[in-house]
A and B are shown apart, each in its own frame.
Chain A
Amino acid sequence: MTTTRSTTTGTEALLRVRDLTVTFATPRGPLDAVRSLDLDLEPGGALGIVGESGSGKSMTSLAIMGLQPRAARRTGSVRLRGRELVGMSQADLRRVRGDRIAMVFQDPLSSLNPYYTVGLQIEEAYRAHRPGVTRRAARKVAVAALERVHIRDAAVRVDHYPHQFSGGMRQRVMIAMALSTEPELLIADEPTTALDVTVQAQILDLLQEIRRETGTGLVLITHDLAVVSEITDHIVVMKDGVCVERGAVEQIFTEPQHPYTRALLDAVPRIDDEIGALRAVAPGSPAARENAARENGDLA
């Protein structure tokens, strides 16, 4: 499996997204939750997608996997190592999901099924892509995966249910599950948002460590600029479903071009700030963008 992958590697980009658009039909006409988005990620690279809630960043991550809601239409191009995922059959897409692209979601408690042990949920992720693997072998993989994310007594914990883990531990379980198949791309959608600050730092360290050790590419979606600055090397700033600015981390932080990026940076509270009201970013949404566009006569 590893050998076939390395032969196709070459100089190809790990992920190349072009003109990705996700459209919902609404009573007031079609609405683009994501519009004409381009993303590039080299093998082993780390890309941050930043924006406020409603900016379309989560929809982007789901659309890369083909997991957008049934009511939504996805157009454009998503290539994983040159292989087009848009328009791919459900059967082929299923083989990509979880195996080559894995995902970690925001809320680890609701993202794990409360009715099954974490072991079973890791095992099924692994076995879905390794037909013929026995439960016993999959269980070993599950224990090893838990060990890799530094869960102590993994051999015992593997038989525990999600509610028996703390929030940070649950997110570790999610990461272990995602990594069990050795994916080449990991999409983490707000992986630390539901966690408290010290646990956030631990999870970010873990993601860094995994990236170093496995060379997995990472797309990190967050509203937290501090998080992206720590982990990723490139940033895409999204607002109202479109990319407003992109570039290397240092460049974005030192010379933000778009007013929205500046507003986002200003919204981060700093320790040397005067004490006063927190600065907010002007609220936006895809609908707001459409409205603004209508007023400007763009959508006549």
Chain B
Amino acid sequence: MPRFLLTRISSGLVVLLLVCLFTFVVFFALSPDPAVQICGKNCTPELIDQIRGNLGLDQPFWTQFFLFVAGIFAGRTYGDGAAAVECAAPCLGYSFQSSQAVWDMIVQRLPVSATIAVGAAVLWLLAGLVGGLLSAVKEDTFLDRFTTGLTLTGMSIPNYVLALVLQYVLVVRLQWLPFPQAVRFADDPVQWFGNFVMPWIVLAVGYAAAYTRLTRANVLDVLRENYVRTAYAKGLPQALVWRRHALRPALTPVVTIFGMDFAGLLGGALITETVFGINGVGKMAADSIARNDQPVIMGVTLLAGFLVVVGNIVVDVVYTAIDPRVRVNAR
């Protein structure tokens, strides 16, 4: 087990390094000179050269790349002499726009994105599993067909459309939800909840629909397995056959998909956060792309890659606990 974990972690690191390189190449090759951008309107060629020197932009590509990667693990210093700026250990550089450290910006916004991801995940897991199970139990009944119709609708409504419709109906027309205001949970739980409930729903709808389909298909597949027939032949009560012999094999693949989806969402829900004006990682990414704020874009990209890699490793570990066939091979 530790050995299997070690291989997974080291291969994850390689993947992250490649993600680093890829983003670095893209921005190196495609974007306009950041020094000009930072310099602003009243700019002189000397000033540009000075900024270039400070940021290390006058260095060759591989040196820059190495400095960037080294900065993440060991920190780095921009410029020298009196103007030197110390960037502490997980150094992702500074925003061209706000001059804030990218790492600090991410740390600030990550809890917001996590709140959205967790809330939505709870909703879509509940809806998806219950819907899928009901649909499978009542296969080919009205309920099954109704659920199928609902999931198709859920899958085909774009996030932003649903978000705008919900905002209009729930906040403006019916006034069931308060107008969004920035509050902390401890200060005003009701307002806080009101802020997040719509993003949760909007984000959960698509996933819930997909999970319903997945769960239904898995359960129906497993019910056709020979070992389920064996369980009935042994005279086990229906409830036990379902609970023990059908559910666990049917839900195992859902765990995989969930790990990936959830990890991806932690890195920010771009559209949902933007539409609802929630200041999470997703909105930050959208804003930084709009302003061509390279260090921020790279930071967010790396974060997303990191979360997916970690999510994968977690899923693998969980899998060894669920599926005995994986468990033994991993030893």
Contact = CB atoms under 8 A, between A and B. Distances in A.
Interface residues of A, number: 30
A127 B188 CA distance: 54
B323 to A, nearest CB: 7
B245 interface: yes
Interface in A84-108: 90, 94-99, 102-103, 105, 107
Contacts of A128: 234-237, 240
Nearest to B222: A113
B234 A111 contact: no
Contact of A97 (B234, B322, B325): B234
A256 B160 CA distance: 76
A124 interface: yes
B109 to A, nearest CB: 41
Nearest to A65: B233
B230 A124 contact: no
A117 B240 CA distance: 16
B248 interface: yes
* Main DSSP-derived SS at the B contact region: helix
A67 B232 contact: yes
B229 interface: yes
B324 interface: yes
A15 interface: no
Given A96-B235, A97-B233, A128-B237, A110 B227 contact: yes
B226 interface: yes
A161 B231 CA distance: 16
Contacts of A220: none
Interface in B200-254: 225-227, 229-238, 240, 244-245, 248-249
A125 B226 CA distance: 16
A105 B325 contact: no
A112 interface: yes
B235 A95 contact: yes
B84 interface: no
Interface in A11-47: none
Given A94-B237, A124-B240, A111 B324 contact: no
A257 to B, nearest CB: 34
A161 B233 contact: no
Interface string A99-143: 100110101001111111100000011001100000000000000
Contacts of A105: 226, 229-230, 233
Contact of A125 (B227, B234, B248, B323): B234
A231 to B, nearest CB: 21
Interface of A: 65, 67, 90, 94-99, 102-103, 105, 107, 110-117, 124-125, 128-129, 161, 163-164, 174, 177
For the complex of A and B, 9 pairs with smallest distance between CB atoms: A98-B235, A97-B235, A98-B234, A110-B226, A125-B234, A113-B227, A103-B233, A111-B226, A161-B324
Given A125-B236, A128-B235, 20 more contacts: A96-B235, A97-B234, A98-B233, A98-B234, A98-B235, A107-B226, A111-B229, A112-B227, A113-B230, A113-B249, A114-B227, A114-B323, A114-B324, A115-B249, A115-B324, A125-B234, A125-B235, A128-B236, A128-B237, A177-B234
